[in-house]
């Protein structure tokens, strides 16, 4: 059994991964907050992947590969007239992780540098062995940077309106920023835009904030929300941890048991959280193959 001290390659030894490495260029770096930066990698036209997958990333001077989830979509990777296509990665500041530490060097030192990447991972959309046309409800459950693969999946669903109409819910647990500025939470601005952009794949987003009081959560939400969001009611921020009722409400939209055959759940976050939430969904009667999990350490 692997643990937090094992390497990315050891933890993912049983996962599917491409055989070939591809050279990519670090084209853009965006600082999200004091602990996360977004990297945009310019890629060759032949690069393919599924929403939810990760990259083995080999950086100069470091023997071991880093593992970082792709937060962009296959459509973003397609070359266009003014854009060669790209992969986006969210890199957490981790000084004890040599590949991450290299990718957190000063921007002027690494921008336009080349690294080598390989696609891998089994936590993907569409879920293996399930006809996507049969899926009416998708629940995405994230803790911290476990949001990363779910951003790729959610954005992909929004970019493909030919997908059948579905109910999509994101339940996202995150630590409240010390500044009480919710825009510092990874991808929250993007998620709020998704909640307002009025497509058939518009997600319901519930943000659960830890390390803050209910009054502080209300204050942060009031300062962050737009007036029109009070009407559409698709985005909300709450104090506390994700509970069983929140998990159930993301999938149980019917008066009978049909939802169990029409729903899929994706869970990504710390190992203990992921195991607990998977067990809750299985106890509800969902099939193992309809509850997909990915752990980060």
Residue 254 has pLDDT above 60, yes or no: no
* pLDDT recorded at residue 116: 98
Q: Contact 122/13 with Cβ under 8 angstroms?
A: no
> What local confidence, expressed as pLDDT, does residue 5 receive?
67
Q: What is the pLDDT of residues 116-160, one digit of tens each?
A: 999 999 999 999 999 998 898 999 999 988 999 999 999 998 888
> Which neighbouring-strand residues pair with 78?
none
- Per-residue pLDDT at 227: 56
Token pair 């970082």 in the structure block, residue: 68
Residue with the larger pLDDT of the pair 69 and 227 = 69
Give me the mean pLDDT over the 64-84 stretch: 92
- Which residues, including other chains, have CB under 8 Å from residue 246's CB and lie 6 or more apart? 171, 206, 208
- pLDDT, average across residues 175-182: 85
Peptide bond connecting 179 to the previous residue in cis, omega within 30 degrees of 0: no
- pLDDT confidence tier of residue 1, bands split at 50, 70 and 90: very low
What mean pLDDT do residues 194-208 have? Answer: 68
List the structure tokens of 54: 């990760």
pLDDT for the residue 230? 46
Residue 2 pLDDT grade (very low, low, confident, very high; cuts 50, 70, 90): very low
How far CA 94 is from CA of 7, 34, 55, 191, in Å, comes to 14, 11, 17, 25
Global pTM exceeds 0.85: yes
- Specify the pLDDT at position 273: 96
Contacts by 158-161, CB closer than 8 A, 24 or more apart: 158/194, 158/197, 158/199, 158/201, 158/202, 159/73, 159/75, 160/75, 161/199, 161/200, 161/201
> pLDDT value at position 142?
96
Is the pLDDT at 245 greater than 80? The verdict is yes
Asked which of 33-42, 47-56, 228-237, 278-287 is least confident by mean pLDDT, the reply is 228-237
Average pLDDT (188-203) is 67
pLDDT at site 46: 80
Instruction: Place 183 in a pLDDT band, splitting at 50, 70 and 90.
Output: confident
User: What's the whole-number mean pLDDT along residues 226-230?
Assistant: 53
pLDDT at residue number 235: 64
| pLDDT for residue 171 is more than 80 | yes
DSSP one-letter string for 243-259:
-HHHHHHTT--SSSSTH
Above 90 in pLDDT, residue 221?
A: no
Separation of alpha carbons 189 and 181, rounded Å? 11
pLDDT of residue 232 exceeding 50, the answer is: no
The pair of structure tokens assigned to 61 is 């001077």
Region of residue 19 (phi > 0: left; psi between -120 and 50: alpha; otherwise: beta): alpha
Q: Regarding predicted confidence, which is higher, 126 or 196?
A: 126
Per-residue model confidence (pLDDT) at position 269 = 95
């Amino acid at each position: 059994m692997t643990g937090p001290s094992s390497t990315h390659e050891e933890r993912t030894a049983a996962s599917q991964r491409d055989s070939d490495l591809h050279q990519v260029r670090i084209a853009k770096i965006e600082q999200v907050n004091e602990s996360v930066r977004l990297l945009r990698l310019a890629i060759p036209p032949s690069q393919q992947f599924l929403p939810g997958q990760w990259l083995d990333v080999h950086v100069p001077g470091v023997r071991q590969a880093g593992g970082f989830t792709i937060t962009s979509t296959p459509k973003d990777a397609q070359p266009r007239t003014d854009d060669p296509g790209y992969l986006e990665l969210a890199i957490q500041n981790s000084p004890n992780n040599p590949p991450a530490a290299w990718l957190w060097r000063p921007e002027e030192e690494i921008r336009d540098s080349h690294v080598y990447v390989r696609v891998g991972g089994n936590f993907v959309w569409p879920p293996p062995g399930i006809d996507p046309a049969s899926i009416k409800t998708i629940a995405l459950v994230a803790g911290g940077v476990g949001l990363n693969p779910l951003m790729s999946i959610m954005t992909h669903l929004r970019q493909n309106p030919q997908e059948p109409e579905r109910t999509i819910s994101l339940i996202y647990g995150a630590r409240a920023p010390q500044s009480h500025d919710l825009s510092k939470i990874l991808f929250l601005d993007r998620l709020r835009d998704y909640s307002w952009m009025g497509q058939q794949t518009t997600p319901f987003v519930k943000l659960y904030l830890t390390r803050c009081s209910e009054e502080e959560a209300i204050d942060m939400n009031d300062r962050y929300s737009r007036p029109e969001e009070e009407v559409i009611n698709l985005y909300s921020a709450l104090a506390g941890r994700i509970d069983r009722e929140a998990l159930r409400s993301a999938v149980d939209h019917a008066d009978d048991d049909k939802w169990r055959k029409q729903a899929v759940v994706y869970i990504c976050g710390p190992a203990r959280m992921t195991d607990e939430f998977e067990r809750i969904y299985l106890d509800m009667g969902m099939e193992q193959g309809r509850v997909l999990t990915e752990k980060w350490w």
